[in-house]
Amino acid sequence: MARIIDIHPDNPQQRAVDQAAAVIRDGGLIAYPTDSGYALGAQLGNKDALERIKTIRKLNDKHHFTLVCKDFAQLGQFVHVDNAIFRAVKAATPGAYTFILPATREVPRRLLHAKKKTVGVRIPDSKIVSALLTAIGEPLLSTTLILPDSTEAMTTAWEIAEELDGQVDAVIESGADVVAEPTTVVDFSDGFAEIVRVGAGDPAPFE
């Protein structure tokens, strides 16, 4: 099975976080727990990992990949956010939302939506993810871990390690219950909120 790295959900051990960060920096693909199920994560410019993610999830060019960011300072480097949208996004984060926004030049072209030149961004409510992002010093290229024959995000580390053996390099185990719902996706690419998917985040603020 894929390597399992145990990290405490409330007090992430730096040594374990550094082990997971090393996998990412070495070009690996990890599965990690968020506030809306497990996600697949890799280094931003890792073309090989991107192809592996596409293969695992059977994704096409219309899929919005997500940059998982530590905070708004980081998020603002990779997407264009005007003041009105900033306030709406700020009020809902950190949390189980993905926001689709026009990308800046900092985002590798291969991650952009083919026609819209947009990308997904999110700031999860997770101490593990925050610690991991601090350790790698940049956003994670990410997508929710939903297998092609399912509508729910995977939630159990050992099942992921077994199911995706040979396809992911490591799985983070938090020991905590993980919500099965993927994020609520809100598209701001046309300047107003359009709810693309209702998930773990309450859609009411954007309706």
What is the rounded average pLDDT of the residues 168-185? 92
Structural domain harbouring 175: 3-206
Q: Write down the pLDDT at residue 109.
A: 86
Contact 121, 66 (CB under 8 A): yes
Residue listed under structure tokens 């293969």 = 55
**How many Å apart are CA 176 and CA 110, to the nearest integer?**
34
pTM of the model as a whole? 0.92
Q: What is the pLDDT of residues 78-117, one digit of tens each?
A: 999 988 898 999 999 999 999 999 999 999 888 887 778 8
pLDDT of residue 173: 96
Q: Is the peptide bond before 94 cis (omega within 30 degrees of 0)?
A: yes
User: Does residue 190 carry a pLDDT above 80?
Assistant: yes
Residues of the chain above pLDDT 70, percent: 100
The strand pairing partners of 4, in sequence order, are 171
> CATH number, domain at 55?
3.90.870.10
Residue whose tokens read 């506030």: 35
pLDDT at 61 over 80: no
How many domains, the chain?
Answer: 1
pLDDT in the model for residue 41: 97
Question: 90 pairs with which residues across the strands?
Answer: none
